[in-house]
Amino acid sequence: MTRKDKKQKKQRKDRKKEDKKKKESKLSFKRVCSDNFFALKLIHRSVPLYLPIWFGWSVLGALLGFLSNTYILRMAVNSVQLGKDPGSTLLFIIIIVVAETGFSFATGFASHFLIPKMRIKIRGDIQRRLFEKASTVELACYERPEFYDKYVRAMEEALNKVFDVVDTVDQMIWRVVNLSANSLLLYLIDPWLILFGLIPVVLGLLRKVEVSEYYKYVNGQKPIDRKKNYIRRTFYQNDYAKEMRLTSMYKSLFEDYKGCWKSYLKILRRHGSLRTLLGFIIECGMSIFAYLGAILFSIYRTVVQGTMLYGDCVVVINSIMSVSYGVGSIVSGFGSFREHALFIENMRVFLDYKPAIDENEEGDCVPKQGGDLTFEHVSFSYEGQKGRAVEDLNFTIRKGEKIALVGLNGSGKSSLVKLLLHLYEPNEGRILLDGREISSYNLSSYRGLFSVVYQDCKNFSATVGENVLLRRVEEKDKELVENALRESGGYDKVATFEKGVDTVLTKEFDKNGEVLSGGETQKIQLARIFAENRPIAVMDEPSSALDPIAEYRMFQNMMRACEGKTVVFISHRLSSAVHANRIFMMREGRLVECGTHEELMAQNGHYADMFRKQASNYLGKE
């Protein structure tokens, strides 16, 4: 085993461990903080003014809010009770009113003129980094469901969470300022009042139990929801429509749906009852002991002992609740940080992810005209799958050769192509271009050698021209596009469009966009090979969606257009393999036969057998 292999194996193991760890344990407190901090840093890097403006505002807003809501009232009531000069109180009120008004004005200004623009910019900057990353992580990541679900698909959600962090910090600032101001005021009025504010802290212990019951309830529902969604899909999705009508599967699915209700009730009963009881105790404790208790206490002080003023009483009535709930809301605020962290953690891992296939930007450029491609003892297996996809492949494809890859389903043809394109790294062995390992070249220059048509191809929601050239189309490119389409047989269709090659495909953004059939789509994709003048063409079943005549024409054109180019194509229809210079017959991941059609027929091995079976139907038994 070479050093590289060991390194890779270790990497894989680590990755698995990492994934497992994450599933099992929650994020540490430290990690939660650093994740949230990471989100703030992302924002700060994009628009440095955003956070200072936002948070400065929160402090100011909270203070002013306290003054205008609570403090004024106390002053007004007390001044009347004590018979003070109303003029000075009025003056104070007016000062606060003016300040508050100025503040609202400025807030409005900021929130309509500055913040939205900044947000869009921040969003755009982060999104671009994510796009960048998404197009560089190795393809294997997309095949690891844990990785894919967690990091790739959840990205859009994670992006929203970045802003949620700011909102939560903002709320926290508001709450802390508000709580401190109110507590301070209560303390100044009567230190004993603080005790009432502490009741919720005691009740908070119960809250913890309640929250954990809540999570059990929510998690218990997840499998039920999954089941329900699946059943619903089978009832309304087009994919299932015919089978649902032609088989009796719908009956058992329908019964299953009803069964979900019972399972739900069970979950609710198990985890809902205790939660309700606790919720009841907590809420009543809060409103009766904390709120009414504090009021009773202050009335006692005012009426019986005479140590408190009316205005202070008003303050107690108004603020005791915000103090009691304040502590809880700050604690639960930390809960939201934890929640954000889960998403941001994913984003962070994703952004920090080091692709197993290095971009190798300092790597050498490939020879412009391509060269011989050599596989030396190449083996490869997909992660999480037993058995090897390809095993001990040894061959050289010389420059300009036309190679047909044939074999049964699952014999490793597509895997071979993906290894060739350096979408995966082989587990063992080496792949060489012109005698040098392909990983020593700059990755994008290496991939730039290939034009590729995939079996499961889709057109992009862009113009025909852009779909062919895969870049912006200038006026001078149009002829190139049209010629390429002629070669691939797609031009007839495109010519019927009003806007020709400028026609937008798919109806995603353009109501007048054209939706193409499978065969037409494939023709557009094939045109890429003709349009891009790259030395190597790779085609994975290029003709599967074409009807026989279109297939025939396409092959003729391809052979003509690819003169001098290296071509590797996979085909199920052996009739097309006849054209190839050499045929590689794959079987269970190995290259079992190799040679021209005549040679292989003469060998009378697997290929000959397969060919005869297919041909027998055409040639008849006569």
Partner 1 sequence: MSYMDDREKAKKQKKSRVVYNSAYMLVKVFRYAPDVVIFSGLYAVARGMLNSVSLLLTVNLLNALDEGKPFSVMAGMIGTAALAFLVLRGFDRIYYLYLSPRISQRLHYAMHKELLLKAWKADLACYDDPEYYNDFVWAMNNADGRAIDIVNDFRALISTFVYSGSVFGVIFTVSPVVTVVLMTASVLQLLIDRKANKLYHEESEKGNVLSRKVSYLNRVFYLSDYAKELRTSRVGELFKEQYAQTVKEQIALKKEYSKKYFLLETVCGNLLVGNCATFGTMIFLFILLVQGKVEIGGFAASVTSCWALLWLLTDLAYTLMRFPLHALYTQRYIEFMQREPKVVSGGLPAKCLETLTLENVRFAYKEGGEEILKGVSMEIHQGEKVAFVGYNGAGKTTLIKLLLRLYDPTGGRILYNGEDLKNYDTESPRARMGAVFQDFKLFAATIGENVMGSTYGEEDKEAILQALKAVSFTEKLATLEKGIETPLTREFDDGGVNLSGGESQKIAIARVFARPYDLIVLDEPSSALDPVAEYELNRSILEHCTGKTVVFISHRLSTTRMADRIYMFDGGKIIESGSHEELLQQNGKYAEMFRMQSENYKKGA
Residue 177 CB, nearest approach to partner 1 (Å)? 18
DSSP letters spanning 4-72? HHHHHHHHHHHHHHHHHHHHHSPPPHHHHHHHHHHHHHHHHHH-TTHHHHHHHHHHHHHHHHHIIIIIH
Residue 1 found at the interface with partner 1 (CB under 8 A): no
Nearer to partner 1, 59 or 274 (CB): 274
Residue 563 found at the interface with partner 1 (CB under 8 A): no
When binding is defined by CB under 8 A, the residue of 91, 97, 184, 495 that contacts partner 1 is 97
Considering only residues 258 to 277 of the shown chain, the ones binding partner 1 according to CB under 8 A are 258, 260-261, 264-265, 268, 272-273, 275-276
Residue 190 found at the interface with partner 1 (CB under 8 A): no
Residue 602 burial (C-beta neighbours within 10 Å; 0-12, 13-18, 19+): exposed
Phi, psi of 72 (to 5 degrees): -55, -45
Residue 603 found at the interface with partner 1 (CB under 8 A): no
The candidate with the shortest Cα–Cα distance to 464, out of 524, 519, 510, is 524
Residue 361 found at the interface with partner 1 (CB under 8 A): no
Residue 377 found at the interface with partner 1 (CB under 8 A): no
CA 73, CA 218: separation in Å to the nearest integer?
A: 44
When binding is defined by CB under 8 A, the residue of 252, 396, 496, 556 that contacts partner 1 is 252
Nearer to partner 1, 52 or 410 (CB): 410
Q: Would you give the binding string for partner 1 spanning residues 396-425, x where CB under 8 A is met?
A: -----------xxxx-------x--x-x--
Nearer to partner 1, 336 or 544 (CB): 544
- Would you give the DSSP letter of residue 389? S
Instruction: For residue 452, give the H/E element and its range.
Output: strand 450-453
- Location of structure tokens 């396409």: 554
The candidate with the shortest Cα–Cα distance to 470, out of 454, 451, 483, 496, is 451
Nearer to partner 1, 563 or 598 (CB): 598
Stretch that binds partner 1, among 186-194, 369-377, 425-433, 569-577 (CB under 8 A): 569-577
When binding is defined by CB under 8 A, the residue of 18, 45, 95, 105 that contacts partner 1 is 105
When binding is defined by CB under 8 A, the residue of 29, 192, 215, 300 that contacts partner 1 is 300
Residue 1 CB, nearest approach to partner 1 (Å)? 28
Q: Are 31 and 341 in contact (CB under 8 A)?
A: yes
Nearer to partner 1, 10 or 128 (CB): 128
CA 40, CA 35: separation in Å to the nearest integer?
A: 9
Considering only residues 498 to 537 of the shown chain, the ones binding partner 1 according to CB under 8 A are 508-509, 517-519, 528
**3-state secondary structure at position 392:** strand
Report which residue type is found at 52.
P
Nearer to partner 1, 9 or 262 (CB): 262
Q: What is the 3-state secondary structure (H, E, C) of 522-548?
A: HHHHHHHHHHCCCCEEEEECCCCCCCH
The candidate with the shortest Cα–Cα distance to 351, out of 177, 167, 125, is 125
Residue 396 CB, nearest approach to partner 1 (Å)? 22
When binding is defined by CB under 8 A, the residue of 373, 397, 452, 562 that contacts partner 1 is 452
CA 520, CA 212: separation in Å to the nearest integer?
A: 55
Residue 574 found at the interface with partner 1 (CB under 8 A): yes
Residue 112 found at the interface with partner 1 (CB under 8 A): yes
When binding is defined by CB under 8 A, the residue of 3, 21, 30, 242 that contacts partner 1 is 242
The candidate with the shortest Cα–Cα distance to 12, out of 138, 109, 121, is 138
Q: Are 448 and 534 in contact (CB under 8 A)?
A: yes
Nearer to partner 1, 34 or 107 (CB): 107
Residue 22 tokens, joined? 């994450």
Considering only residues 27 to 66 of the shown chain, the ones binding partner 1 according to CB under 8 A are none
Stretch that binds partner 1, among 40-48, 131-139, 171-179, 325-333 (CB under 8 A): 131-139
Residue 353 found at the interface with partner 1 (CB under 8 A): no
Q: What is the 3-state secondary structure (H, E, C) of 275-287?
A: HHHHHHHHHHHHH
CA 162, CA 122: separation in Å to the nearest integer?
A: 10
When binding is defined by CB under 8 A, the residue of 31, 227, 338, 486 that contacts partner 1 is 227
> How many residues line the site for partner 1 (CB under 8 A)?
153
Q: Would you give the binding string for partner 1 spanning residues 147-186, x where CB under 8 A is met?
A: -x---xx-xx------------------------------
Residue 77 CB, nearest approach to partner 1 (Å)? 6
